[in-house]
Amino acid sequence: MWRRDPRAARLGSVRRVRCPTCRREVDWEGNPCRPFCSERCRILDLAAWADERYRIPGEPVPAEPTAPDDDSPKNDGR
């Protein structure tokens, strides 16, 4: 996810990451939108989650059972 800038030895420890939205490299330190490069990329990512374009893998959630109708015969165990 992150890599050290080759100039890090000269400049001190500089941590750079790629923005998950646009893939632009940005400094981690002092970035208020991290891991994104900008507020725009941050909002685009949030919108993708809200639109369900991103999904977490796993088993499908079973549908909730429906309540029986009042007209259906009752099974009393006899």
Domain boundaries, the chain: 2-50
Would strands 2-4 and 15-18 be described as parallel, antiparallel, or unpaired?
antiparallel
pTM value surpassing 0.85: no
Per-residue confidence (pLDDT) for residue 4, from 0 to 100: 57
Q: How far is CA 61 from CA 35, 38, 64, 66, 68, in A?
A: 30, 35, 9, 15, 21
With CA atoms as reference, report the closest residue to 20 among 3, 4, 44. Answer: 44
List pLDDT tens digits, range 6-44. Answer: 555 555 678 999 999 999 999 999 999 999 999 999 999
- 3-state class of 15 per DSSP? strand
Average pLDDT score, the chain: 81
Superfamily of domain covering 2-50: Erythroid Transcription Factor GATA-1, subunit A (3.30.50.10)
The Cα 74–Cα 76 span in angstroms is: 6
